[in-house]
């Protein structure tokens, strides 16, 4: 089975990330994030966001997201998000676990983007004592369906949420793909996001993600929170090193741009050479295809790992490591299904 397009998680570490890890392994360094490598990686993130923010590196996106939303909502409150968001569908209740009961309220919207009308309706819901009221909004950039919010679209979600007194979290597991598709990272703090998860793993790092806290009022005892959650690395430079390698070389951006380009090549080929149709616009590094179950099973039998997503479409994900040759081989296999 070939996992070239199974997920961007199936790719290895990008060369610059691996070089960053090797460089971090040289000599001795202060522990628990007090080292120069970690400081430099945090500065690289701050520069891209043009913001003075607290930055911490953690072991997984699930932990980063769950801790972030737990900072914005009390156990008796809930987080508004898209019903297909990762925190709803792929984190096994982690927001509620880390938040000691924090709930999730799923909202509709095409291609993983929250519908602004649905959000306003949720914000207008009366607060009653028998259900968890909304305390925060979580948005995903790029979305689970590969869509990229524009600054205006995000503003139309974040402004009413903030006017209603809600905090705002952004899941940026594929933020690099959104950035290279045209989204300005500097808009994130300007729009009023409180906490951002700055993605590393899908961009070519190991299993490192950065928790970026713009709202300094949330940072009180943050290191105690992370330590209790098992997210404080004693050798933090081994989380930050790969990120630093990607960021200082700009491979964080160039790898994502390549992944986006390969996704577009795949999408164009599917439209030109097969009878299948795209389920969603291709705006980042993921391609979703309407494909009968029989055709999907045949493609798997030909040795291509690809998975049926929540809406029934089949997902193909490109990464920094995707080659033109692999795309063309996959297109030949898909064309043979006609």
| CATH 3.40.640.10, domain 15-248, yes or no | yes
- Per-residue model confidence as pLDDT tens digits over 183-229: 999 999 999 999 999 999 999 999 999 999 999 999 999 999 999 99
- Per-residue model confidence as pLDDT tens digits over 3-35: 999 999 999 999 999 999 999 999 999 999 999
What is the rounded average pLDDT of the residues 82-89?
97
pLDDT for res 158: 98
Q: Rounded distance, CA 177 to CA 283, Å? A: 9
Binning pLDDT at 50, 70 and 90, where does residue 1 land?
very high
Residues 243, 205: contact at Cβ < 8 Å?
A: yes
> Domain-by-domain residue ranges, the chain?
15-248, 251-335
Binning pLDDT at 50, 70 and 90, where does residue 117 land?
very high
Q: Rounded distance, CA 230 to CA 228, Å? A: 5
pLDDT for res 56: 98
What is the rounded average pLDDT of the residues 323-335?
98
Peptide bond just before 144 cis, omega within 30 deg? no
Residue 175 scores a pLDDT above 90: yes
Q: Rounded distance, CA 206 to CA 304, Å? A: 24
Q: Rounded distance, CA 137 to CA 111, Å? A: 18
Residues 15, 206: contact at Cβ < 8 Å?
A: no
pLDDT for res 293: 96
What is the rounded average pLDDT of the residues 42-66?
97
Of residues 2 and 338, which shows the higher confidence score?
2
What is the rounded average pLDDT of the residues 172-189?
98
Give backbone dihedrals phi and psi of 112, rounded to 5 degrees, phi first. Answer: 85, 0
Diameter over CA atoms, the chain: 59
On average, the pLDDT of the chain sits at 97
Length of the chain: 338
Q: Rounded distance, CA 173 to CA 138, Å? A: 13
Burial class (CB in 10 A: 0-12, 13-18, 19+), 115: middle
Question: What is the percentage of the chain residues whose pLDDT exceeds 90?
Answer: 99
Helices (H) and strands (E) in the chain, counts: 14, 11
Global pTM value: 0.97
pLDDT for res 288: 98
Residue 338 scores a pLDDT above 90: no
CATH number of 251-335: 3.90.1150.10
- Per-residue model confidence as pLDDT tens digits over 214-269: 999 999 999 999 999 999 999 999 999 999 999 999 999 999 999 999 999 999 99
pLDDT for res 94: 96
């Amino acid at each position: 089975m070939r996992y070239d397009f199974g997920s961007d998680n199936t790719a290895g570490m990008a060369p610059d990330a691996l070089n960053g890890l090797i460089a971090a392994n040289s000599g001795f360094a202060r522990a628990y994030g007090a080292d120069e490598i970690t400081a430099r990686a945090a500065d690289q993130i701050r520069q891209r966001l043009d913001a003075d923010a607290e930055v911490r590196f953690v072991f997984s996106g699930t932990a980063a997201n769950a801790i972030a939303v737990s900072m914005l909502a009390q156990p008796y409150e809930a987080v508004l998000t898209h019903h297909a968001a990762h925190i709803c569908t792929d984190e096994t209740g982690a927001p509620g676990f880390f938040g000691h009961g924090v709930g999730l309220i799923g909202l509709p919207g095409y291609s993983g983007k929250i519908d602004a009308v649905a959000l306003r309706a949720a914000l207008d819901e009366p607060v009653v004592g028998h259900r968890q009221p909304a305390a925060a909004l979580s948005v995903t950039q790029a979305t689970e369906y590969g869509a990229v919010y524009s600054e205006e679209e995000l503003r139309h979600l974040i402004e009413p949420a903030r006017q209603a007194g809600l905090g705002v979290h952004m899941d940026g597991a594929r933020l690099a793909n959104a950035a290279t598709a045209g989204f300005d990272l500097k808009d994130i703090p300007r729009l009023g996001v409180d906490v951002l998860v700055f993605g590393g793993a899908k961009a070519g790092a190991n299993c490192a993600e950065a928790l970026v806290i713009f709202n300094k009022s949330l940072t009180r005892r943050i290191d105690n929170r992370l330590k209790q959650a098992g997210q404080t690395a004693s050798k933090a430079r081994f989380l930050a090193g790969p990120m630093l390698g990607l960021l200082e070389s700009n491979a964080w951006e160039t790898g994502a741009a390549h992944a986006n380009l390969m996704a577009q090549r795949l999408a164009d080929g599917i439209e030109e050479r097969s009878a299948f149709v795209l389920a969603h616009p291709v705006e980042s590094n993921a391609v979703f295809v309407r494909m009968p179950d029989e055709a999907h099973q045949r493609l798997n039998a030909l040795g291509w790992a690809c998975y049926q997503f929540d809406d029934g479409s089949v997902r193909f994900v490109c990464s920094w490591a995707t080659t033109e040759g692999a795309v063309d081989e996959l297109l030949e296999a898909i064309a043979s299904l006609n």
